[in-house]
Chains A and B, each alone.
Chain A
Amino acid sequence: MTKEGAGKKSLLLGNEAIAQAVVAAGCQVATAYPGTPSSEILPAIAAAADRLAAPMAVEWGANEKVAFEMAVGASFAGARTCTAMKQVGLNVAADAFMTVALYQLKGGMLLISADDPGPHSSQNEQDSRMFAMFAKLPCFDPSDASEAAAMVKDAYALSEKHGILVMLRPVTRVAHCRQTIDVVESFEPGTPVKFERDVNRWMALPAIVRMSHPRHNARIAKIREEFETDWGKYNYELPAKGKAKLGVIAAGVSFSMLRDLMKEWGRDDIAVLKVGTPYPLPRKWVESFIARHDKILILEETYPVIETQISDRSKVNGRWNGAVPEAGELLPEVIEEIVLAQLGETPPKLDTSELAAAAGELGLTVRKPQLCAGCPHRSSYFAIRKAIPAAINPSDIGCYSLGVNQKGLDTSLCMGASVTMSSGFYLAHKVTGQERPVVATLGDSTFFHMGVSGLLSAVYNRHAFVLCVLDNSITAMTGGQSNPGLTGKPREKDEGVALSIESVARGCGVTFVETVEAYDIAAGAGAVGRAWEHAKASRSPAVLIFKHPCMLLRVPQDTVSVSVERDKCVGCRYCIDYFGCPGLSFDERAKKTSVDKRYCVSCGVCAAVCPHKAIVKSAG
C-alpha cells in the first residue's frame, strides 16, 4: 500500500488503464469499432491523447474490418498503431487479421480483442486466444488492469522486434474492472513514417506467401523460445510450501480470483503456475511444472488454448476430461468448486435455504435488461407490429434487440444480418410460391457497419422487404459512441462529416425512402404499410427511418404527463405485453395498470397505446 498522497493514482476502468498505456507507448494511429466490453478503450485513448497533447489520430472505423485495416495501412507506412474491438468484432476483421499475420510489419501493431465470458453483453463466448493460435500470433492474457497496461508496452516491443502483429486479450472482468492505477503523464515518441514500395513485402500473392509462411513459423518458434525464458514478469510460479497437493496452471483473471480464494482458504499446499502468454505457449517451462507435480488443473477462459498445446495430458485435468466447465465464466464459486474437487474436498456450502424461500415468496427474480423508459425503439416496434402483425421481423445487434420484450423481433444473429437474412426469408418464401411480409429492424450504427452491403445486394437481386432503420443518433448499447451518421469524433478538436442514412439508402438504389418521428405510432404504422406495398409492387427493398434521439443523450423534449383512468382500465395487459415500458406497472391483484413514477420520463407515448383509452395525457 502506498502512503497517503504519494504518487498520482487514480481509480481507472481496465479499458482506461489499457488506453493510457497505448498513448504512453507512443501509438500514432488508433482505431476501433465499439462493442462491449471493448467500447471505452478508444474514447479513453482520445481523452489521454487530448490531455497529453499527443500527436495521434484516434478514429472509429465504420466496422471492425475497416478499423483493423486502417491500422494495418498505417503500420505498413511505419506508424505505431493500435486497433480495438470485441471478440465477435474480430470475426468481422478476420479476413485481414489472418493474412496480416504473415507480414513483416513496419510500425508496431497491437490488436486488443476483448472477450466476454459469461456472456454478459455478447452473442457468443468465443475465445480470441483461439484466433491468435489460428493465425499463429503472440497473445497476452492479462490477469488484471494494471498487468494489462504493462503488457501494452511490452506488446509493442515484441511487435517491433519481430515485425509481427501482437494481440492483447482482456476479458470483461479486466476491461470493466476498476483498479488503482498510476496516472500516465508522458508518452514515448512515435516511429518514423515513410512508406517504402516493396511488393514482395506488402502483397500477399501465392508465390510470396509460400516464402512468408515458413518465415512466420520460424519467428513464432523464436518468440516461443523467448516466452520460455525472458518473460518472467508475466509467466511465473508461486510454489507451495512443502510438497504441493495440486499444481494449478492459471491464466488471465482466473489467476487473480484463485489468489484471493487461496488467501481466503488460508492454503499454501497448492502450487500455481501463472501464464500470461498463452500463445505461443512456453511449452518446456509449462511441461517442467507438470512433471514436478502429481496432479494438474488448468484454469483459463473460455476455450482450452493452453490445454491443447500440452503434448501429454495424462496428468492434466481441464476441459478435455470435464474437470472444468466448457461454457460460462469461471466465477470465484466455480473455481472454488473445481479446485477443491481436484483435492477430493467439498466446498463449505453457505446455507441460503431461507433466502431462497424468501425470494420465492416475495417473487424476487433477476430483472432482465430492457429498453429504457422513453426509448424511441419501443414506439417504433409498437408501430411495426401494429402495421403488419403477421410479418417476419429479423433484427440485429444493438439496444433494439431488447425489443424482444415488445414482441417486435423474431431473430438476431450478428451485425447486419437483419438485412441479409431478410433477403433469405424473402427467397425461401418466393421459391415455394408464398408471400410473407418481412419487416426488419437495425440501428443507425449497424446500418453503416454492415447493413449497406446487404442492402446493395437486395436491390440488385430484387428482394422485397421493409428495412426499418431505428435511428437514435448514437451507438447506444455500447455507451454512446459516434458513427458515420454523426459529426462527432473521439478527439476533442476533430470533426467528421455526417452521412445521411436517406441519401446512402437512395445511393444504394432504394426507391422508397421515408423518415418518420419514432414517437408517432400512427405515422409509423402507416408508413410501414405503405413501405411494404411499395416493396411488393416494385420487388425491391423499402427503407423507413424511425428517428428520435436516444434517451441517454438527454436531448430536451416536451414533458407529457400521463395517468391511468382506473375505471377504464380493463386489466387486459395489452400495454404491458406489447409496449412494456418500465414506467407502467401492473397490479396483479387489482388487475389494473398504473404509472410507476420511479421510472416514467413523461414522454407521453403510451397515451396512444391503450385500446380502451385508459392511459390519458394529464394536465400540467
Chain B
Amino acid sequence: MSGSGMQYIIVGIGGQGILFTSRVLGKIAIDKGFPVVGSEVHGMAQRGGSVISHFKVGGYSGPLVSEGQADVVMAFDQKEGIRNLAFLKEGGTFLVNADDESAFENDHLKKYLARRKIETCRFAGFRILDEHMGGKYLFLNVLILGAASGMKIEGFEEDRVAAALKELAPPKHLEANLKVFELGLKAARA
C-alpha cells in the first residue's frame, strides 16, 4: 500500500449491487491485515437513487472520504461517476462503466480530467453483458471487479479478487461470476 492508505469511492444507482463490490474490497484488505473503515447507503436513499460507498483502507478513523482525497472512483453508472469526480485526488484513477462515449468529448470534462491528471479507464459494461451474459446487468458488480483487477488498481489483485468471489458469491452463481470476472479482466486489457 502506497503512503498512508487507499481511499475509494464507489458510486452508482441503488439496486446495481454496489455493496457486494465493497464487501469484496473489504475482504481483500482484511486478508492482507489492513484495517478498513467505510460508509454505505441503506434504506430509502438506496431505492433507485444515487448511491455512494466510501471505503478507506489503512490507518483511518472516520468513514467518509473528503473531496479531492480519493485514490479511486469506481462508477457503475457513468453519470454518477462524472458527478462525483471531485472526490478524486490529483492523479487518481476513474474506473467507469461507460454507456455514452460522447460525454467524454465534453470540453469542460476533458479539461478537468487533464488538469487533475486523472487516469480514466472506461469499459462498456452493458454492451459486454448484452453480448456475453444475455443482458443480465446484475453481473455488473463482478464485471467492474474484473475491470479493476485488469487495470491493476491497488486493492483488486486478480488472484485475491478471484479468491474473494469464491468465498463471498453464492455457490450456484459462482461459475457465472467467474466468467464475468474474466470478461472484466479482458475488457480492461482491451
Say whether A associates with B: yes
A352 to B34, CA, bound (A): 32
Partner of A350, one of B30, B50, B67, B83: B67
25 contacts between A and B (CB under 8 A): A1-B35, A1-B59, A11-B30, A120-B45, A173-B39, A176-B41, A177-B39, A177-B63, A178-B63, A179-B35, A180-B35, A260-B62, A354-B108, A355-B85, A355-B109, A358-B109, A361-B108, A362-B79, A364-B79, A367-B13, A367-B49, A369-B45, A399-B47, A401-B44, A477-B47
Contact with A along B22-66 (1 / 0, CB 8 A): 110011011111111111111111111110000100011111111
Determine if A178 and B39 form an interchain contact, defined as CB atoms under 8 angstroms apart: yes
Q: Does B103 contact A (CB under 8 A)?
A: yes
Q: Which of A120, A179, A352 has the most CB of B within 10 A?
A: A179
Contact with B along A115-144 (1 / 0, CB 8 A): 000001100000000000000000000011
Residues in B63-85 with C-beta less than 8 Å from chain A: 63-69, 79-80, 82-83, 85
Determine if B83 and A364 form an interchain contact, defined as CB atoms under 8 angstroms apart: yes
Determine if B67 and A370 form an interchain contact, defined as CB atoms under 8 angstroms apart: no
Partner of A1, one of B13, B34, B86: B34
A333 to B47, CA, bound (A): 26
Q: Does A357 contact B (CB under 8 A)?
A: yes
* Shortest distance between the CB of B83 and any CB in chain A (Å): 5
Determine if B38 and A177 form an interchain contact, defined as CB atoms under 8 angstroms apart: yes
Residues in B81-119 with C-beta less than 8 Å from chain A: 82-83, 85-86, 103, 106, 108-109, 111-112, 115
Q: Does B171 contact A (CB under 8 A)?
A: no
Contacts A39-B42, A333-B66, A370-B49 supplied; 17 other A-B pairs, CB < 8 Å: A4-B32, A9-B30, A37-B43, A176-B39, A176-B40, A177-B40, A178-B63, A180-B37, A253-B62, A256-B62, A257-B64, A355-B85, A361-B106, A370-B47, A401-B44, A477-B47, A582-B48
Q: Does A10 contact B (CB under 8 A)?
A: yes
A263 to B30, CA, bound (A): 23
Q: Does A3 contact B (CB under 8 A)?
A: yes
Determine if B15 and A180 form an interchain contact, defined as CB atoms under 8 angstroms apart: no
Q: Does A456 contact B (CB under 8 A)?
A: no
Which residues on B sit within 8 Å (CB–CB) of A402?
A: 44, 47
Partner of A179, one of B22, B32, B37, B66: B37
Determine if B40 and A479 form an interchain contact, defined as CB atoms under 8 angstroms apart: no
Determine if B39 and A120 form an interchain contact, defined as CB atoms under 8 angstroms apart: no
Interface size for A (C-beta < 8 A) is 66
Beyond A11-B27, A354-B109, is A257–B33 a contact (Cβ under 8 Å)?
no
Residues in A237-272 with C-beta less than 8 Å from chain B: 253, 255-261, 263-264
Residues in A458-495 with C-beta less than 8 Å from chain B: 477-479
Partner of B48, one of A331, A332, A371: A371
Determine if A13 and B40 form an interchain contact, defined as CB atoms under 8 angstroms apart: yes
Q: Does A359 contact B (CB under 8 A)?
A: yes
In the A-B complex, list the 5 residue pairs whose CB atoms are closest, starting with the nearest: A36-B43, A121-B43, A11-B26, A369-B49, A257-B62
Determine if B50 and A178 form an interchain contact, defined as CB atoms under 8 angstroms apart: no
Q: Which of A257, A332, A358, A401 has the most CB of B within 10 A?
A: A358
Which residues on B sit within 8 Å (CB–CB) of A359?
A: 82-83
Beyond A144-B61, A176-B39, A597-B135, is A355–B108 a contact (Cβ under 8 Å)?
yes
* Shortest distance between the CB of B143 and any CB in chain A (Å): 14
